[in-house]
């Protein structure tokens, strides 16, 4: 049984994230979505809020689990028995960053592989930051955020 871990901030989760999750969940027996807590990053949604938002979006995927952690990603992967880290790539800038992360993780634990999934073209521009900025100005985020959570995200961000 091969387990994979998809780490990220998911502040909030986007349609691009969901696409990667669905594709990865079809490739692996179990997929853990890990909300990684980075004290240097200022998040809009609490860990608990992000966990609830993600669970609403993946409830139909029986092999997907949501966890959170503030440790090194490879340590969490090892603790969960995951042999693969999933990373989404939208553009060349993502690749450069993700390559350095993957290389660092490989040095920390060479038994854990990183698999890059390329974003579908319709999601290649999409980020949580863009969705949040649109929502702050009461813009329509339904093309960016999963339908199940649009209302909650809009309420939180539009002031």
Q: Is the dihedral of CA 122, 144, 43, 79 positive or negative?
A: negative
> Two tokens at 113?
């592989």
Q: How many CB atoms lie within 10 A of CB 7?
A: 22
Q: Tokens 């980020």 identify what position?
A: 127
Which positions are catalytic? Answer: 17, 41, 90, 128
Could you give the residue ranges of the DSSP H alpha helices within the chain?
15-27, 47-58, 73-80, 92-108, 128-136, 150-157
Compute the distance between CA of residue 18 and CA of residue 12 in angstroms, rounded to an integer: 11
Query: Which SS3 state, helix, strand or coil, does residue 123 take?
Result: helix
């Amino acid at each position: 049984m091969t387990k994979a871990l998809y780490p990220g901030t998911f502040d909030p989760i986007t349609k691009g994230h969901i696409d990667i999750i669905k594709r990865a969940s079809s490739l692996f027996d179990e997929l853990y979505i890990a909300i990684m807590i980075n004290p240097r990053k200022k998040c809009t949604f609490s860990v608990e809020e992000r966990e609830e938002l993600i669970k609403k979006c993946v409830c139909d995927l029986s092999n997907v689990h949501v966890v959170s952690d503030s440790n090194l990603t490879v340590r969490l992967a090892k603790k969960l028995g995951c042999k693969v880290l999933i990373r989404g790539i939208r553009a060349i800038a993502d690749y450069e960053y993700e390559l350095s992360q993957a290389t660092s993780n490989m040095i920390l634990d060479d038994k854990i592989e990183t698999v890059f999934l390329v974003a579908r073209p319709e999601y290649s521009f999409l980020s949580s930051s863009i969705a949040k900025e649109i929502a702050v100005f009461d813009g329509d985020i339904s093309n960016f955020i999963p339908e199940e959570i649009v209302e909650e995200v809009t309420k939180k961000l539009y002031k």
